[in-house]
Chain A
Amino acid sequence: MIKAILIFNNHGKPRLIRFYQYFAEDMQQQIIRETFHLVSKRDDNVCNFLEGGSLIGGSDYKLIYRHYATLYFVFCVDSSESELGILDLIQVSTIYIFMTVFVETLDKCFENVCELDLIFHMDKVHYILQEVVMGGMVLETNMNEIVAQVELQNRMEKSEGGLSAAPARAVSAVKNMNLPEIPRNINIGDINIKVPNLSPF
């Protein structure tokens, strides 16, 4: 079973954390740090599996990870799927493929996914992950199916947003109208969020 899915960048800053087994919050942070420490010191051309994490489950769990550009994708898996109680290597290899599926899906959904997409659309990443992994188990592996589900979600969001969110947005826009400290133009690295100029009533 997948115990946790962690995505962090080259500096160890978490970009997505999802635990499928309960850990207290400070423990979660410790696990992230330990995992980053283990993974980040490895060369890029060594194998993608490693043991040695001490915080989740002890000896029978492995880290399966990939490094894409600025991000590490790490799945922490244990042996509960195997009746022998020994971590199954085959599981390792299939999870590895599956991880590729997940990344490919993100790529497709975001059109060339980059770290910023993960930051600003954390909720969306979670939703995509939800279509793929459920309670630590792999739900769907067919990328087209996943993308179709995500698109369906978007359509629903749009239809809801169109009907109900607009008035709410208008109200908050009016409230914020005279506050000078709200920036008109926010520069954050390579993306630009334009705040529309609001004409006064």
Chain B
Amino acid sequence: MPAVSKGDGMRGLAVFISDIRNCKSKEAEIKRINKELANIRSKFKGDKALDGYSKKKYVCKLLFIFLLGHDIDFGHMEAVNLLSSNKYTEKQIGYLFISVLVNSNSELIRLINNAIKNDLASRNPTFMNLALHCIANVGSREMAEAFAADVPRILVAGDTMDSVKQSAALCLLRLNRTSPDLVPMGEWTSRVVHLLNDQHLGVVTAATSLITTLAQKNPDDFKTSVSLAVARLSRIVTSVSIDLQDYTYYFVPAPWLSVKLLRLLQCYPPPEDAAIRSRLTECLEAILNKAQEPPKSKKVQHSNAKNAVLFEAISLIIHHDSEPTLLVRACNQLGQFLQHRETNLRYLALESMCMLASSEFSHEAVKTHMETVISALKTERDVSVRQRAVDLLYAMCDRSNAQQIVAEMLNYLETADYSIREEIVLKVAILAEKYAVDYSWYVDTILNLIRIAGDYVSEEVWYRVIQIVINRDDVQGYAAKTVFEALQAPACHENLLKVGGYILGEFGNLIAGDPRSSPLVQFNLLHSKFHLCSVPTRALLLSTYIKFINLFPEIKGTIQEVLRSDSQIRNSDVELQQRAVEYLRLSCVASTDILATVLEEMPPFPERESSILAKLKKKKGPGALPDVEEVRKEKNTSVNGGVEPLGASATPPSSTDLLSLSSPTSLTPASTSSTAASLLVDVFSENHVPAAPGAPLGPVADDNFSRWASSVVSLCNVRKPLGGNCESPPAHKLSPRRFVCKNNGVLFENQLLQIGLKSEFRQNLGRMYVFYGNKTSTQFLNFSPSVICQDALKTHILLQRGTALCVRGAQLQQVLNIECVSEFVEAPILNIQFRYGGMLQNIAVKLPITLNKFFQPTEMTSQDFFQRWKQLSAPQQEVQKIFKAKHSMDPEVTKAKIIGFGVALLDRVDPNPSNFVGAGVIHTKMTQVGCLLRLEPNTQAQMYRLTLRTSRDTVSQRLCELLSDQF
């Protein structure tokens, strides 16, 4: 017998639905609906009170009309009236209407809440269930306020029926998710854990979901659930399928509950108790073993359920990441699924393997499946699955297989779906860079990339290739030759032309010896494509031409001719016209020496995070990359670094401002000199960073250098005073607050001198390496740095080599030993005197030694933290500051800054996951000061609230000033 009786519906409703279905046209349907709406409206407005049945029928019609996509703006009141009916069916339809149609902002909520309150108090389990369902379905804040106390009470009451308990658990979970602040923890929490032992498996399942969510926020309160969950899981896994009767689903015992329990266990590290741990390992092994057994049923439901449990078990194994044997077994199991005929399984296997690939224990095991994954990429019919295959190839790539994987991805790119091309391009570019052993391979790969999918190659990709070529001397000649050859193709992508123009402009001389690529040939090749390009590319090519004038004086005439032509010098585009005019003028007036200085080869780029990686991260959203860890590693293995972070080789040179011209319009001749001066600061100043779009994690100023060329002009203007040598060049002090959260960087820079720092601190001692880089081509005489500091700090200059700095690029290193005697505010001052061009130069900079440098991070548990927090509750010990965010409020950046500040960042201490909590101890020679801090971002208001508690008021005050300045 069917459970739903089809006969006794509401007849009027059936008639109405049939009418609608018989409508021949959309218009007829709308007409019929409008007629019905008018009818219902008049019925509701009429004088006669409607009986429950009619109300029910009309409300049901409204629901149907709503389903057809029409707005319903009345009937809510009637639905609310139905709630207070004592008939089940009327109540039921009333609740249905409300949860489908009443949104959480409705003013009716108070009336509804009243009805719900009555039903919750009714002790009729069906009514209670309806009410709980409604709370969960609407889940608004008003409801959370009204029922946050009632629901837990119902959940743990001894006399509550199983079905009500089940609903109450989920209802509480929903309220906890929508308004966690309104659901207080209480004595019920400990009793909730014991629901894991309940007889009724439905209750256990619902309770497990609830506990999982609560445990994520307050792991300590629910620690006891681990042993209970393991015990329960072990009973299910070892049970014979008939033990659990109804909860056995196609011969798999309680799959849903198993999955939930495995998920709960993922909130915690592997159990410490050896007995529990071995029991859990047995369970996981048993689940893996079952996967190998022949299926008990041919039905797809059986294997689905079995695999769901298996996948969740593998997820737990990956989460624990501590049992190599289990990890490898999991990997082999997934390997089998890679070739399964069920598409869903292949999809899930690929996705799980991505996670396994980032575990050190199973990375090798994952690699053995490379061939299968590659063939999936080629043969899989479903784009969802192919996308997963790309992800996995990216995750499993390392130095040993990079060439093959990159080749396969490039191969695939030719036929790839448009929707994922850009992502593949980014991935190829990153892998090629990260694992390049041979830079000619890297250059080939990227040029191929541009050839195959030029439209999908974003700016970042070609910027990056240029950065790398410029930073690596050994690849420049090859790069010039390769782009020259690539440009010979009759049709080449504009991106290729950009790369080609840039590289030939820099390194065209390296291939000019070959008559087939003589200067004139190079120029003609580029210029033949000039007219087909967009304005930015043409602007770039003009800069290439002026660089050619410097590189190849023999073709100066030809180029001047081109610049002089009307199509350039009178171009309607201001940017092009200006470049043509200025370059032409420059080439005419400037002597060869000046030209050589102005148009000097681009200096190496400072090491930064790859802009492509940043782009990929942005595309995928934070946390979506499987190998966030690797990103950090990448910094070390990255190949782009011709330059050590600082000092070790030539200092980031004078013409860094070539990079920073931000807008062509700022370059009207009148303004050039002033803008150029300030630009130098822009490159390094922290303020610039958040302004750069697409730079969530670090300074990526690369987008600036598409304007590479226009800056040449402004540079001339900057250099002019230098030629005279008579005035002291303007100094650019870089704000010391940049150093609060980091220890290395450029401290000071003007046109003569650059000062870089590297420092390390341990307890109350520190050591600072100061690098002085001479940027001029003459010597500095009587170079003498000294440090002035207060009593609270002792500094000692250890080493000083030579008192004269010779030619450009050479540098002097100095080591300072620092001891913090007691707390301090004023930073020491570094005084430098030297003679340059007969003038005595005097430079004074503050050394970025701040109190927070003497932090030792302290890890502590949530309990300890709050205990100490309470101990430091005297009013003068706490300093709080509420301030507006100056930079973008990216949590990753904030985390990095707090860690850089010196404290330990404590995870899962604050109940609100978006807050940051840290702890550390400041060491001075006299004393140690414990410090706790809490930072609460409010992204909507763009504000932060910072609270610091330390045992000394002055320290709290100072740290608060320092840290609040950082966000």
Residues on A lying within 8 angstroms of B by beta carbon are: 1, 14-20, 22, 24-26, 29, 32, 42-43, 45-52, 58-60, 80-81, 83-86, 88-90, 92-94, 96-98, 100-101, 108-111, 117, 119-124, 126-128, 130, 134-145, 147, 149-154, 156-158, 160-161, 164-165, 168-169, 172, 182-183, 186, 188-189, 193, 195
- CB <8 Å contact, B52 and A47: no
- CB <8 Å contact, B311 and A122: no
B668 within 8 A of A: no
CA distance A16 to B249 in the complex (A): 26
Centre residue among A45, A121, A123, A127 by max chain B CB count within 10 A: A123
- CB <8 Å contact, A48 and B173: no
- CB <8 Å contact, A138 and B88: no
Contact of B3 among A19, A154, A189 (CB under 8 A): A154
- CB <8 Å contact, A93 and B381: no
Contact of B343 among A45, A60, A161, A172 (CB under 8 A): A45
B89 proximity list for chain A (CB < 8 A)? 156-157, 160-161
> Contacts A80-B177, A110-B4, A158-B5: A47 and B419 contacting too (C-beta < 8 A)?
no
Q: Which of B231-252 contact A (CB under 8 A)?
A: 246-247, 249
- CB <8 Å contact, A96 and B344: yes
B87 within 8 A of A: yes
What residue of chain A has the Cβ atom nearest to residue B70's Cβ?
A25
Stretch at the interface among B200-208, B816-824, B849-857: B200-208
Centre residue among B53, B206, B247 by max chain A CB count within 10 A: B53
B54 within 8 A of A: yes
> Contacts A18-B100, A109-B2, A157-B89: A93 and B166 contacting too (C-beta < 8 A)?
no
- CB <8 Å contact, A161 and B8: yes
B301 proximity list for chain A (CB < 8 A)? 97, 100
CA distance A86 to B305 in the complex (A): 22
B256 proximity list for chain A (CB < 8 A)? 94, 97-98, 138, 141
B67 proximity list for chain A (CB < 8 A)? 14-17, 122
A85 proximity list for chain B (CB < 8 A)? 622-623
CA distance A86 to B552 in the complex (A): 55
Stretch at the interface among B133-141, B273-281, B512-520: B133-141
What residue of chain B has the Cβ atom nearest to residue A130's Cβ?
B133
- CB <8 Å contact, B167 and A134: yes
CA distance A91 to B301 in the complex (A): 16
> Contacts A46-B343, A195-B11: A142 and B247 contacting too (C-beta < 8 A)?
yes
* A–B Cβ pairs within 8 angstroms, 5 of them: A14-B69, A59-B624, A81-B212, A94-B255, A161-B89
Contact of A154 among B5, B137, B209 (CB under 8 A): B5
Q: Which of B295-309 contact A (CB under 8 A)?
A: 301, 304-305, 307-308
B159 within 8 A of A: no
> Contacts A84-B623, A193-B14: A188 and B170 contacting too (C-beta < 8 A)?
no
- CB <8 Å contact, B63 and A123: yes
- CB <8 Å contact, A120 and B17: yes
What residue of chain B has the Cβ atom nearest to residue A160's Cβ?
B87
- CB <8 Å contact, A151 and B247: no
Contact of A123 among B51, B96, B351, B385 (CB under 8 A): B96
Centre residue among A93, A121, A150 by max chain B CB count within 10 A: A93
Majority-rule SS of B interface residues: helix
5 closest residue pairs by CB, A with B: A135-B136, A46-B382, A47-B343, A135-B174, A111-B2
B682 within 8 A of A: no
- CB <8 Å contact, B624 and A168: no
CA distance A131 to B845 in the complex (A): 71
A26 proximity list for chain B (CB < 8 A)? 71
> Contacts A121-B4, A158-B8: A188 and B166 contacting too (C-beta < 8 A)?
no
Contact of A97 among B21, B213, B308, B315 (CB under 8 A): B308
B126 proximity list for chain A (CB < 8 A)? 152, 156
> Contacts A20-B137, A89-B352, A160-B89: A139 and B343 contacting too (C-beta < 8 A)?
no
- CB <8 Å contact, A188 and B206: no
Contact of B304 among A97, A134, A161, A189 (CB under 8 A): A97
- CB <8 Å contact, A122 and B88: no
CA distance A183 to B247 in the complex (A): 48
B385 proximity list for chain A (CB < 8 A)? 46-47
CA distance A153 to B307 in the complex (A): 34
- CB <8 Å contact, B93 and A123: yes
- CB <8 Å contact, B202 and A142: yes
B74 within 8 A of A: no
B610 proximity list for chain A (CB < 8 A)? none
What residue of chain B has the Cβ atom nearest to residue A149's Cβ?
B163
> Contacts A121-B4, A156-B126: A90 and B137 contacting too (C-beta < 8 A)?
no
- CB <8 Å contact, B6 and A97: no
- CB <8 Å contact, A60 and B624: yes
- CB <8 Å contact, B344 and A186: no
> Contacts A94-B308, A100-B301, A153-B88: A165 and B170 contacting too (C-beta < 8 A)?
no
CA distance A42 to B15 in the complex (A): 36
Centre residue among A47, A121, A135, A137 by max chain B CB count within 10 A: A135
> Contacts A14-B67, A100-B301, A130-B133: A135 and B139 contacting too (C-beta < 8 A)?
yes
Further 15 A-B residue pairs, CB within 8 A, beyond A135-B174, A137-B174, A183-B15:
A48-B344, A80-B177, A90-B311, A97-B249, A119-B17, A122-B63, A135-B137, A144-B246, A154-B4, A156-B126, A161-B8, A168-B54, A188-B18, A193-B18, A195-B11
Q: Which of B764-818 contact A (CB under 8 A)?
A: none
A165 proximity list for chain B (CB < 8 A)? 53
B186 within 8 A of A: no
- CB <8 Å contact, A137 and B209: yes
- CB <8 Å contact, A127 and B177: no
A188 proximity list for chain B (CB < 8 A)? 18, 21-22
A49 proximity list for chain B (CB < 8 A)? 344, 347, 384
- CB <8 Å contact, B87 and A164: yes
- CB <8 Å contact, A141 and B96: no
Contact of B170 among A139, A149, A172 (CB under 8 A): A139
B177 proximity list for chain A (CB < 8 A)? 1, 80
CA distance A130 to B92 in the complex (A): 10
CB distance from B314 to the nearest CB of A (A): 8
CA distance A157 to B267 in the complex (A): 44
> Contacts A93-B304, A138-B256: A127 and B96 contacting too (C-beta < 8 A)?
yes
- CB <8 Å contact, B384 and A90: no
B119-137 vs A, CB cutoff 8 Å, 1 = contact: the mask equals 0000000100000110111
- CB <8 Å contact, A164 and B53: yes
Contact of A126 among B12, B96, B167 (CB under 8 A): B96
Centre residue among B17, B71, B267, B623 by max chain A CB count within 10 A: B17
- CB <8 Å contact, B201 and A142: yes
CB distance from A159 to the nearest CB of B (A): 9
CB distance from B226 to the nearest CB of A (A): 16
B365 within 8 A of A: no
What residue of chain B has the Cβ atom nearest to residue A108's Cβ?
B3
CB distance from B287 to the nearest CB of A (A): 13
B71 proximity list for chain A (CB < 8 A)? 25-26
B871 within 8 A of A: no
Contact of B307 among A48, A93, A158 (CB under 8 A): A93
B923 within 8 A of A: no
CB distance from A82 to the nearest CB of B (A): 8
CB distance from A145 to the nearest CB of B (A): 6
- CB <8 Å contact, A51 and B52: no
B343 proximity list for chain A (CB < 8 A)? 45-48
- CB <8 Å contact, B18 and A139: no
CB distance from A141 to the nearest CB of B (A): 4
What residue of chain A has the Cβ atom nearest to residue B355's Cβ?
A89
B182 within 8 A of A: no
> Contacts A46-B343, A160-B87: A89 and B348 contacting too (C-beta < 8 A)?
yes
CA distance A123 to B9 in the complex (A): 10
CB distance from B324 to the nearest CB of A (A): 22
- CB <8 Å contact, A47 and B166: no
A145 proximity list for chain B (CB < 8 A)? 202, 246
CB distance from A154 to the nearest CB of B (A): 6
B311 proximity list for chain A (CB < 8 A)? 89-90, 93
B266 proximity list for chain A (CB < 8 A)? 83
